[in-house]
Copies of this chain bind each other. A is one copy, B any other.
Amino acid sequence: MTKPLKGLKVLDLTRVLSGPFCTMLLADMGAEVIKIERPGIGDDSRHFGPFKEQESGYYMLFNRGKKSITLNLKDNQGKEIFKNMVKKCDVVVENFKPGVMEKLGLNYEVLSEINPQIVYCSISGFGNTSSFKKRPAYDLVAQAIGGMMSITGYPDKPPVKVGSSLADMSSGLFAAYGIALAVLNREKTGKGQSVDISMIDSIFTLLESNVVRYSIGEEVPTRIGNRHPISAPFDTFLAKDGYIVIAIANDALFAKFAETLGQPELSQNKKFNTDFNRLQNQAELKQIIESWLQDRTVKEASELLLDSGIPCAPIYDIKQTCESKHIQEREMMVELNHPKAGKVRVPGNPVKLSDTPASIKEPSPSLGEHNLEVLTELVGLSEGDIKELIHRGVIDKENS
């Protein structure tokens, strides 16, 4: 079995999270991703924990299956080598602040002159066309001004950020989709183009119907905890040993639920007989449910409820999720053999293709591991040229 992006050559200038996640999605699907790192230091994330045998687990996750070369892009010879690679590759991805590639003389306009087929993707906080593009933007900033924090959390508590770096992750994913679209278009036209992804635009898109509730419904949605805006009971409930989520959005299901609670009369009660009425009286309903739950563990309650077909679930911590049967069965945790760190487990890929599945077998590269291979085979340099480059500090010795 081959992979859908086999043959696609990607020059990867990205660092840390959004960009590396994007190119990880491409590498998992068979693209040859050549990560270009700073000599001596490499991607900052090589120095982020957790560590195993001094190797960064953070770097391992997002850079599996890629090649690494070191190249000083501020050096004229480094620039020439990069331009030479652009001639022979399909995609360039970077997540610098807007303006950095221009300052290096390596922006899309320059690179597309060298290779009109090149697909050039940039990921940044505000994107390339916003007045605010020079502003520093971390994930937290994007979640704040992208509106997501204002709708996450409890009404009587401060706004809450999503626990993971959602602006980075979603912009990386939109970038991978954009690159696939540009490559598809190139199949037809023979011409590349640029793909400009903003973390704030990405978060904004994930707000889903909250935007039209404002722009069409003339309401400003705010925080409602874990409740559903129009259905009840659809929330987190406290059981004997922790929280359970229960999600009921129609009357038939509520009738079954009331029976399971041993209180079938609830579904006849005028306070609770329709979804609308249940929503109006959700606080009282929550008390009734939590008093039923107080003698039952999450496990006991969810078994009973699932037997009756009621959508519910425990709230798993990260360990419980990682070790869950579902995650195992779906190959969402895979084992890699890292030359220094040994066997490590990292997340799999959620895009399950029947004929050309992702296969995650190669570990992340050491810094400059592929200098010799890439510079001789792709760029066509001689060993003498490479010695000279190492001497001048334009690249590193391999495995330095």
Q: A residues engaging B (CB < 8 A)?
A: 4-5, 17, 21, 25, 29, 48-52, 57-58, 60-61, 108, 126-132, 135-138, 140-141, 144-154, 157-166, 168-171, 173-174, 176-178, 180-185, 187, 191, 193-198, 200-202, 204-223, 225-226, 228, 230, 234, 236, 238, 243, 245, 247, 249, 306, 309-322, 324-327, 329-330, 332-333, 341, 344-356
Residues from chain B with Cβ under 8 Å of A315 in the complex: 144-145, 149-150, 159
Contact A169 B206 (CB under 8 A): yes
Contact A4 B184 (CB under 8 A): yes
Given A137-B311, A193-B355, A327-B204, check contact A212 B50 (CB 8 Å).
yes
Q: Which of B191, B209, B353 contacts A195 (CB 8 A)?
A: B353
The count of identical subunits is 2
Contact A168 B226 (CB under 8 A): no
Given A141-B311, A230-B49, check contact A222 B317 (CB 8 Å).
yes
Contact A160 B159 (CB under 8 A): no
Contact B168 A208 (CB under 8 A): yes
The 3 tightest CB contacts between A and B, nearest first, are: A50-B217, A151-B163, A57-B216
Contact B350 A185 (CB under 8 A): no
Q: Which of B152, B195, B212, B214 contacts A163 (CB 8 A)?
A: B152
Given A153-B163, A181-B29, A321-B147, check contact A57 B129 (CB 8 Å).
no
Residues from chain B with Cβ under 8 Å of A321 in the complex: 145-147, 150, 204, 207
Contact A197 B351 (CB under 8 A): yes
Minimum CB distance partner of A311 in chain B = B136
Residues from chain B with Cβ under 8 Å of A144 in the complex: 245, 313-316
Contact A208 B57 (CB under 8 A): no
